[in-house]
Structure 1
Amino acid sequence: MNWLHHTFQEYPELAIFLTLAAGFFIGSIRVGKFSLGSVTGVLLMGVIVGQMDIQVSANVKSVFFLMFLFAVGYSVGPQFFRGLKKDGLPQVLFAALMCVVCLIAPWLLSVAVGYNVGQAAGLIAGSQTISAVMGVAADTINQVNLSAEQKQVMINAMPVCYAVTYIFGTAGSAWLLSSIAPMMMGGIDKVRAACKELEKTMGAGDPTQDPGMRSAFIPVTFRAYAIDASSIAAGKSVQQLELELGQRDHRLFVERIRQQDKKIVDPTPEYIINPGDEIVLSGRREFILGEEHSIGTEIVDVELLNFPVENVQVFVMNKGVVGKTVKELRAMDYMHGIPVQSIRRAGIAMPVYPEAVLESGDHVELVGYKKDMDKAAKAIGYADIPTEKTDMIYVGLGIVLGGLVGAMSIRIGGVPLSLSTSGGALIAGLIFGWLRGQHPAFGKIPEPALWVMNNVGLNTFIAVVGITAGPSFVAGFKEVGWGLFLVGIAATSIPLLVGVLMAKYIFKFHPALVLGCTAGARTTTAALSAIQEEVQSNLPALGYTITYAVGNTLLIIWGVVIVLLMT
């Protein structure tokens, strides 16, 4: 044990990876529907490992924190700036007002119980589940005119308060928004009914609408059939067959034909299907199965079915598509044979209903015959070709420029204040993320790489925070006591309940948007999942993306503001 202790002290990088491994493991353990999550797990393990009095360079923490903040801004940038347009302004204003409450409530509670700057910052970070506040607040504390010892005491207090208040901040938020908030709007049955009514206006469950638009995860299939004289296809042109099937609300497409002479051809609208031909149909699986008895005998033919089909993610960019509904898009000539598989907005799955409106920057997943895909992708926007490479020129330049701007300071009352390099990296991420949405040919960060920047970046920062604060953690906990848990409950609950009331009575949002907007402004994805499960609808996601982008930005910046308010 002495050897292990000495080794970790000599090679602190090993202690960091031990903290990450153990923290992710602890964070993944579920009790019912609740888990601590990776951030809290890593923090607690960092505190335990930190009992070995391991010294870690602050530069390690800074590097990973800047990477994390840039990734956060990059992810939400398109939605953040889109929200500034006229149709998104109500949600932006709501999110901004709610974020102000998220600042004021913990600040007043901190003043009332006599917390210091570090404890107040930790309270905001944990109760609002925004871990990055600790890094931004620490940078700001280091600029305040205090002794190095006083600064370190305050910085070490943050993870203590964060750990104590984070549990209710996560689980309590999900419970409040999925159980208590619907009661404030007349009860869960009333909210569910309102969601179903809105879904109907958007085309969900309407048999007269394109059935392929009902779900965000459409199982599209390609199947081959032998045509005989009794088939409804016999003697009809390809166009006639597709129209007849469409009139039955079974939107199917003829993709390939093997003629009686065994020659495989691509179908034309005028081609007459004859008995003895073999055809390939594409469409939603259940509707193909529903027509099997009238089409013909299914055959397994590798040669006939061996043709290139793609799943392509397309950025919605072209003005002719932005603002269209899914139904209108689906009716375009270039969409023949190409269903919309899913829509993601700022990484959040959107309900794919016929009347759902497409917005600039949406990721639309298309599936279909390769020969048709290029035309459709070009008409919609830009095909996001899968790649494993991250544009590190873009990432590095963004962090440097943001950090340089953040490092500039102004003096207030003789105290030099700035956004800090962390705040600058966040703003640079917002701008560079928006630029990527406008010009997607460059600045690509693949999803796996973005996950690493977000999760490994934040958790490495948290690991170093925990290891550094470890020796003083127990003493800090004794100072704040269990009363902090109750203070944390109040700090979590007040903004959420106020947010629901503002959304309902001031902004008069639809009940689904009330819940989605409130979850988004508090950046609580866990609550969004709980809400959707409880109301039995995906509609709350429509209110989540813009408010999430605003909340993720403002709540992090509150790390600077809380220090100014408390000093």
Structure 2
Amino acid sequence: MWNWISTTLREQPEIALFLTIALGYPLGNLGYRGFTLGTVTTTLLVGLLIGQLDIEISQTVGSVFFLLFLFAIGYGVGPQFVRALKRDGASQALFAVLVCVMMLSTAYGVARFAGYDVGYGAGLFAGAATVSSALGLSTNAIRGLGLSPEETRSMIGALSTAFAMTYIYGTIGPIVIISQIGPRLLRINLPSACRAYEARMGELPRGAGSSWHHFIVRTYRLTADAPQVGRTVGEVEASTPNVRLFVDRIRRGEQMITPSEDTRLEAGDIVSIAGVRGTLRSLFRTGAEEVEDAELLAIPTEGVDIVVTKRACDGRTLADLARMKSTHGIFLTRIRRGSSGAEIPILPQTEIHRGDILTVVGRSQHIRAATNIIGRADFSITETDITAMFLTIAIGALIGLPMVTVGGVPITLSIAGGVLIAGIVAGWQRSTHPTFGNVPAGVLWFIKVVGLNAFIAVIGISSGPSFVEGVREVGLSLFLLGMVATTVPVLLALLIGKYVFRFDDALVLGCCAGASISTPALGLIADKARSQVPALGYTVPYAVSNTLLTIGGIFMVMLMG
């Protein structure tokens, strides 16, 4: 039976590829007390194990999946990466660039100190920084060094060995350092810092709207002595200048009225009104009786996602948007930003940027009016613009082909780097002009997960025979040096973010998590802070680092070479 299995996998390597992903992916989701190895690590380890059968698999298969993965990465970070180049994100973008340089230089110094070759050095960088995409670019760069097939295979095997041995701490290290050590090192009381930040962001000029998500809907029957009788809807809504209040509909006898600002309230009207609980209780404490009117209370509670695309809304605060007539009658329940979908706190002074996804609730006519001035409703969850996606990949690959030689060293963006940049452009273009190039979030996730894990599986299977030899050669020293390459840049990032860039105490840890592309660290920070404020510092550094560290795989091979 064993001979039949091994022979079948050698003769049909595609079966080995699917088997590797099928076994490796679920193992990566298993955890203990919140810790998981991650699907990339477990898929690689399973691939290395199956690769002991000496299975030959075409590298073209891995390259195709890797290009799909890079497109998805670029498409997802595109809007935030472009915004980082603008003035409002410049400091966070510069911070991320500096952290990327520190990661690359630390890994290079450690590799040179240990006397590692190109393969071990590039693998150490990719694993210590937990940049799986850098592993792919390093692999392509090694294949372009003009070595013999045997030397290339040996070097890629060393790359995989180093990546597998350093990735585990590369994942754990930033989480512990940023979320646990960071607040103590920087002497930050994270909950207090976030509350103070929220207080500053919540200072409202007279007439501005309050946070959009604290609302309820109630129906009241107005009696003759109600203060609201004889007043217009606009006057009632303006009676609480610092809190948003909406008169949604009015039942007057047998009539159901959708009011305008000039509609005057009468005794006996049953009014459906939405607002903050305490405000409604205070406003209708006299002359009104709360009643249960199922039809008036039937306001949709399921949110509609609106993608911000309009230039007029880019950089505007929620307080600004709340003043607009077109946002009357809707409430904001959620803001997501960037490819990681980080949730942004809903505060009056929170700025909205192109590419943000706002989840709003309200009646359809109010949502349509708001959508017209904010962007577009994100209903395109099924159809993918296949032509635009694959044409973008092809164009990006062509852009990355040219090579120049400087001082005898060949320098090229590479096909993979070109596709990454093309994906960034496509993602940014989609966020500003959503007429073509749609790739739904679910499809984007699938491409990223399958593309990366299939590529990693190919690398693992191909490097299987050399992995054991590599572990014997470098042993525990590689793991310890990987710890150094991970720890030093993250600790320096904390200090530089706090004392050089002087980021707000509520944001500095989020900036460090983004620059280290550690989404789990952001989650722990948010839990510790009991606030989503740290996410405001996460998205721009994440987009910049995700891009630069990926391309760093090429630079690491050049430096080591």
Q: Same fold (TM over 0.5)?
A: yes
Tell me how far 1:293 sits from its aligned partner: 7.2
1:133 is aligned to: 134
State the Cα distance separating 1:372 from its structure 2 match. Answer: 1.9
CA separation of 1:540/1:206 partners in 2, compared to 1, >3 Å: closer, same or farther?
farther
Contact 2:211 2:347 in 1 (8 A): no
Give the structure 2 partner of residue 411 of structure 1.
405
Superposed, 1:49-448 pairs within 5 Å as 49-185=50-186, 187-189=187-189, 191-203=190-202, 210-213=209-212, 218=213, 222=217, 224=219, 237-244=232-239, 246=240, 251-261=244-254, 263-274=255-266, 276-283=268-275, 296-299=289-292, 301=294, 303-305=295-297, 311-346=303-338, 347-413=341-407, 416-448=410-442
Q: Quote the Cα distance in structure 1 between the aligned partners of 2:173 and 2:559.
A: 27
| 8 Å CA contact retained: 1:221, 1:283 | yes
Change (3 A) 1:24 1:226: farther
Cα separation, 1, equivalents of 2:449 and 2:221: 52
Counterpart amino acid of 2:35?
Answer: F
Q: C-alpha displacement at 1:545, in angstroms?
A: 1.6
Letter matched to residue 296 of structure 1: E
Q: Is the contact between residue 203 and residue 209 of structure 1 (CA under 8 Å) also seen in structure 2?
A: no
TM-score (norm 2): 0.91
Deviates more, 1:513-522 or 1:543-552: 513-522
The CA distance in 2 between the partners of 1:52 and 1:483, in whole Å, is 27
Q: CA deviation at 1:143?
A: 1.0
3-state secondary structure, aligned to 2:88 = helix
1:93 maps to amino acid: L
Rounded to whole Å, the distance in 2 between the matches of 1:205 and 1:29 is 46
Question: Over residues 20-63 of structure 1, what are the superposed CA-to-partner deviations in whole Å (9 max), with x where a residue is unaligned?
Answer: 22222111112112111111121122222223333322121111
The yes-or-no answer on 1:465 pairing with 2:459 is yes
Report what 1:25 is aligned to: 26
Structure 1's unaligned 5+ residue stretches are: none
Mapped partners of 1:555, 1:466: distance in 2: 21
User: CA–CA distance in 2 between the matches of 1:512 and 1:280?
Assistant: 39
Distance 1:44 1:285, change over 3 A: farther
Letter of the 1:84 partner, please give it: L
CA contact (8 A) 2:209 2:323 kept: no
Answer with 282-291 or 358-367: which moved more: 282-291
TM normalised by structure 1 equals 0.90
Q: Could you list the per-position Cα deviations for residues 241-268 of structure 1 after superposition, in whole angstroms to 9, with x for gaps in the alignment?
A: 4344x36x6633222233212x323123
Amino acid at match of 1:23: G
Three-state SS of the structure 2 residue aligned to 1:411 is strand
Q: Deviations over 1:455-500 (max 9, x none)?
A: 1111111111112222322221111111222111110011111112
Equivalent residue for 1:477?
471
Are 1:74 and 1:429, in contact at CA under 8 Å, matched by a contact in 2?
yes
Is the CA contact (8 Å cut-off) linking 1:314 and 1:366 kept in structure 2? Answer: yes
How far off its partner does 1:136 sit? Answer: 0.4
RMSD across aligned positions (CA): 2.8
Describe the shift of the 1:26–1:290 C-alpha distance in structure 2 as closer, same or farther (beyond 3 A).
farther
One-letter amino acid of the structure 2 residue matched with residue 323 of structure 1 = G
The 3-state SS of whatever aligns with 1:313 is strand
Question: Structure 1: how far apart are the matches of 2:321 and 2:122?
Answer: 47
Deviates more, 1:422-431 or 1:506-515: 506-515
Decide whether the 8 Å contact of 2:69 with 2:452 is kept in 1. yes
Question: What is aligned with 1:516?
Answer: 510
Cα distance, 1:557 vs. partner? 0.9
The one-letter code matched in structure 1 to 2:305 is Q
Residue type of the alignment partner of 2:261:
P
Number of positions where the alignment pairs a residue of Structure 1 with one of Structure 2:
557
Is this contact kept in 2: 1:143–1:417, CA < 8 A? no
Q: What is the rounded CA distance, in whole Å, between the counterparts of 2:220 and 2:100 in structure 1?
A: 58
* Whole-Å separation in 2 of the counterparts to 1:251 and 1:258: 22
CA distance in 1, matches of 2:278, 2:457: 49
For 1:387, what is the secondary structure of its paired residue?
Answer: coil
Structure 2 contact 526–534 (Cα < 8 Å) conserved: yes
One-letter amino acid matched to 1:281? I
Q: Give, in angstroms, the shift of residue 224 of structure 1.
A: 4.7
Residue aligning to 2:550: 556
Uncovered stretches (5+) of structure 2, i.e. residues with no partner? none
Question: Superposition pairs for residues 490-529 of structure 1, below 5 Å?
Answer: 490-529=484-523
